[in-house]
Chain A
């Protein structure tokens, strides 16, 4: 079945440093979604990418979808303590209603 892998599993940064997490799928994706889960919270939708090579920005966050639509990345510029949490990517399966989540990258930020 479809697998979605994320690296790294953990990332510890000093406040102000940049952060990148990578997502790789075993199959081509029609779209990819990113979610953030704060400690003790539930996943919150960040963005959906659909087009090959698409790049979207949300303030300090930059999301990319690979040309082959099998990988994606999330880059945070100048991290802040509010960025702490686990970032998940998710891709639809062969049945568009099912989402396969990666195991996430947990970001900690040292002030």
Chain B
């Protein structure tokens, strides 16, 4: 399967614990995005990378959230001291930016439940 993969697919954690999610983009894609989606809402932008550089982070994102893409390939999203409000689907997407087209390919997501 050459699509975007995410691990784990589901995560249940207790409030206050740290969690880390992984995203493996399509191999030749240079952009990688993280989104959060709750029921009835569209994907909410969190951050994105072009190669290994993190170019933008949502102002709505608290300091408890951090993302890395150390070698410009896979990425990790860490949430520290989780809160119940962090419960959501975390989506990763990748794209190959070229002239005028930024089609994003989404992974299956990681569903986080904070109890």
A interface residues (Cβ-Cβ under 8 A, vs B): 4, 31, 33, 35, 41-45, 48, 50, 88, 90, 92-93, 95-104
Contacts and interface: CB of A to CB of B under 8 A. Distances in A.
Nearest to B6: A42
Interface in B32-61: 33, 35, 40-45, 48, 50, 55-56, 58
A104 B42 CA distance: 6
B31 A42 contact: no
Nearest to A88: B42
B39 to A, nearest CB: 11
A42 B40 contact: no
A101 B107 CA distance: 16
Given A33-B103, A97-B50, A42 B44 contact: no
B91 A42 contact: yes
A90 B50 CA distance: 19
A50 to B, nearest CB: 6
Contacts of B45: 93, 98-101
A72 B82 CA distance: 38
